[in-house]
Amino acid sequence: MNQKGKILGIINIFDLIIVISLISVVIGILLNSFGYSSLKKKVIAEGIAKIKVGIRGARVIDPKIFEKHKKVFIIIRNQPHANLDVLEVKANRRPLIFYDQEKHKAIKVDNFEDNLITDVDITLQGQAQLTNDDPPSISYGR
């Protein structure tokens, strides 16, 4: 770079940054128009999808807070999803598991010490779209 701020005496550094920015914008617009955008997911099918959500070691006093036939709003990987219907709720107290060396098998014992540790399995249902991503994904309406 010389005294005037030009690279090899030909082009100004700021002009070079502007040219590179414009070229990258044009390339982005072209890629988007040819369908290489992640925002333009091609929808294969639409319909109702059911998912099971497992909450392991939930510290709840009363598992009835997850009520059937109510709507829930969930966030998966910091992405908000639509309100989904609760179809089924199963709550089980987590047992303690020990290994018996004499009998060579696991022994399951009810945990009476900590009655807050609960495993909750919830079945949710909502309107969804199946896309042709690789691998195929299901996205719930927003």
pLDDT in tens, 68-95: 778 878 776 677 777 888 888 888 877 7
88 close to 28: Cβ distance less than 8 angstroms: no
Q: Looking at this protein, which amino acid is placed at residue 17?
A: I
Instruction: State percent of the chain over pLDDT 90.
Output: 9
Q: Which residue has the higher pLDDT, 16 or 43?
A: 16
Alpha carbon distance 128, 72 (integer Å): 15
Helices (H), the chain: 13-33
pLDDT at 41: 63
pLDDT at 27: 93
- Angle (CA) 112-114-120 rounded to 5° is 100
Q: Rounded mean pLDDT of the chain?
A: 79
Residue 135's Cβ-count burial label (10 Å; 0-12, 13-18, 19+) is exposed
DSSP per position, 29-61: HHHHHTT--TTSPPEEEEEEEEEEEEEEEEE-S
Q: pTM value?
A: 0.53
